[in-house]
Chains A and B, each alone.
Chain A
Amino acid sequence: MNIQEYISSGIVESYVLGLADETDRAEFEQYCITHPEVKAARIAFETELEQFALVHATPAPAAVRAAVMEQVAGSVAAVAEPAPARVAGIRPWVRTLAAAAVILFIGSAILNIYYYNKYRESSQAYDRLLAQQTNLAKNNNLLQTRLESSRQTIAMLSNPNMKMIKMAGNAVPAKGSPDTSSMAMVYWDMQSKDVYLMVHHLPQPAADKQYQLWAIVNGQPVDAGVFDMPDTSGMMKMKNVPEAQLFAVTLEEKGGSAVPKGPMYVLGKT
C-alpha cells in the first residue's frame, strides 16, 4: 500500500482517538517507527486535536482541583515511591526467574544423563548377578543331588543288614576276565533283599553293549538287571534278589540277555 494512501485512510484519526482495533493499532505503531511521515501525520493530528480541545475547554469545578491535589499530595509518600520501584523491579525479577529456570533445566538435564548412566550400569550389573545366581542355583542343585547320593551310600554302608560282596576280575574261572583288574561291589540288604551295585573298575563298553549283573542261584544265572557305566562312583539299585550263592557281571548286547552269552568280567561269592 502506498504510504500516503495509508496516512489518509483515516487510520491516523482512528488510532489517536482510540477507535482502532488491536491489529490496526499494532500495525500503526510499527509504521510510526519505520515511516517518519506516518509519525509526523500522527503528531499533526494530535496537535490539531489538542488545540481544538483547549479552545473548546469547559472550566472544571474548583472543588475538583482541590480534591485532586489533596489526593495527590497524600499519595506522594505512599504511591510515588513504590510505583517506579515496581516498574524498574519487574525486569530484574523476571530475569532472575528466567535464569533460575534455565539453571534448573540444565541441572535437571545433567541429572537425567547421570541417572540414566547409573540406571544402565545397575541394569547390566543386575543381569550379571542374575546369571551368576542362576549358575549358583544350578551348581547348588547338582551338589545337593551328589550330597543326597553320598548320604544314601553312607546310610547303606552303615546299615548292619547290608552284606558286602566283592566281585573281582581275577576270580573269573576258565578263560578268565577280559580285564583282570576289573572290580565291582554288590551291597545286598539281607532283610529287604534289595541289591545295590557299585562299580570300581570296568572297561568302557562299546556303544551297542551293556553290562548285566547276574545272581547265580543253585548254579543257574538269574538276571539282576543291566546297567550303564555310572558318571560318578554312586550306587545303582539293581533287581531284588531273594537268594544267591554268587554274583557276576557279563558284557551283553544292549538291553540285556535272558541267559549270559558274553564274557564274564567279575565274579564274587556271597
Chain B
Amino acid sequence: MKNRDEAAFAYLYDHYSGALYNIILQVLNDTELASDVLQEVFVNIWRKISMYDAGKGRLFTWMLNIARNASIDTLRSKTYQDSRKNQSIEDNVDVLRPGDNTQLGIDTIGLRKVLEKLKDEQRRLIELAYFKGYTHEEIAGLEQIPLGTVKTRIRNALIQLRAYLK
C-alpha cells in the first residue's frame, strides 16, 4: 500500500468504502454530504498513507478515525451555518436525538442501532462525544457534570457498547 499502488488502493476502496461511508452517514445524516466527505476521506488516505503508523493501530482504525474526524469537521461547519439560520448550537444538540434519524432510516444500521440498546444517559454521552465530536470539557460544561465523571461514564458506556457489537 505504501508503494501507492493504484490497484491495491482500488482494493482498499472496494473493501472499506462501505464501512467508512456508513460511519460518515451516521455522523452527518445526509447522503449527499456523506458522499462528498467519503471522496475527500479516500483522497486523504491516499495522500497521507505514509503517515500511517502500524505500531499505533490497525489500518482500519486509522481510516475510521480519518473518516470520523472529516465527518465531524463537516458537521461543525454545517451546524454552524444552520445555527445562523435557526438557533444556537446548544438547541441543535438537544434537537438532534436518535429519533431524528428515522427520516433517513440509517438508525437501523451500524453503531447507532447498537446505541439504542444503551441507557439514555450513556447514549447521550456517546452521541455527544463520538458522533458530535465534543471534547470531554465541553460535555462537562454542557451536562453540568465533573470532568472526571464524564471520562468514567464515557468509558463505561463504551464498554457497554462493545458488549453489544457482538
Query: B22 touching A68 by the CB < 8 A rule?
Result: no
Query: Could you say which of B4, B14, B69, B165 contacts A18, with CB atoms under 8 Å apart?
Result: B69
Residues of B within 8 A of A43 (CB): 58
Q: Which residues of B contact A (CB under 8 A)?
A: 4, 6, 9-10, 13-23, 25, 31, 35, 38-39, 42-43, 46-47, 50-51, 55-58, 60-61, 64-65, 68-69, 106, 109-111, 113, 129-130, 135-136, 151-152, 154-156, 158-159, 161-162, 165-166
Q: Which residues of A contact B (CB under 8 A)?
A: 8-11, 13-14, 16-19, 21, 29, 32-33, 42-43, 45-50, 52-54, 56-61, 63-65, 67-69, 71-73, 75-76, 79-80, 83-84, 87
Nearest-CB residue, chain A, relative to B58 = A46
Partner of A13, one of B10, B19, B135, B161: B161
A76 to B55, CA, bound (A): 26
A58: which B residues are within 8 A, CB to CB? Answer: 18, 21-22, 25, 106, 109-110
Of the A-B pairs whose beta carbons lie under 8 Å apart in the complex, a sample of 8, sorted by A's number, is A13-B159, A21-B151, A32-B56, A45-B162, A49-B61, A56-B113, A57-B22, A69-B6
Q: Give the docked Cα–Cα distance between A11 and B56 (Å).
A: 14
Please, how many angstroms separate the alpha-carbon atoms of A125 and B64 in the complex? 76
Query: Beyond A53-B110, A56-B19, A60-B18: 14 further Cβ-contacts under 8 Å?
Result: A10-B152, A10-B154, A10-B155, A10-B156, A14-B154, A33-B55, A49-B64, A53-B20, A56-B113, A58-B21, A58-B25, A58-B110, A60-B35, A68-B42
Pairwise interchain contact A67-B10, C-beta atoms closer than 8 A? no
Establish whether residues A53 and B64, one from each chain, have CB atoms under 8 Å apart when the complex forms: yes
Nearest Cβ on chain A to B63's Cβ, whole angstroms: 10
Known: A48-B165, A53-B64, A68-B13. A13 touches B158 (CB 8 A): yes
Contact between A64 and B18, CB atoms less than 8 A apart: no
Count of inter-chain pairs, beta carbons less than 8 A: 134
Q: Which of A45, A47, A64, A72 contacts B38 (CB 8 A)?
A: A64
Residues of the B chain whose Cβ atoms lie less than 8 Å from the Cβ of A67: 39
Alpha-carbon distance A69/B156, docked complex (angstroms): 41
Give bound CA distance, A182 to B154, whole Å. 126
Contact (Cβ within 8 A) A76 B39: no
For B69, list chain A residues within 8 Å (CB). Answer: 18
Which residue of chain B lies nearest to A10 when distances are taken between CB atoms in the complex? B155
| Cβ contact within 8 Å between A16 and B18 | no
CB-based nearest A residue for B147: A21
Closest residue on chain B to residue A50 by CB atoms:
B60
Q: Within the assembled complex, what's the spacing in Å between the Cα atoms of A187 and B5?
A: 123
A19 with B42: CB separation less than 8 A: no
**Contact A60 B161, beta carbon cutoff 8 Å:** no
Contacting pair B158 A80 (CB below 8 A): no
Least CB distance, A26 to chain B, in whole angstroms: 11
Do A48 and B162 touch across chains, with their CB atoms under 8 A apart?
Answer: yes
The residue in B42, B43, B61, B109 that gathers the most chain A C-beta atoms within 10 A of its C-beta is: B61
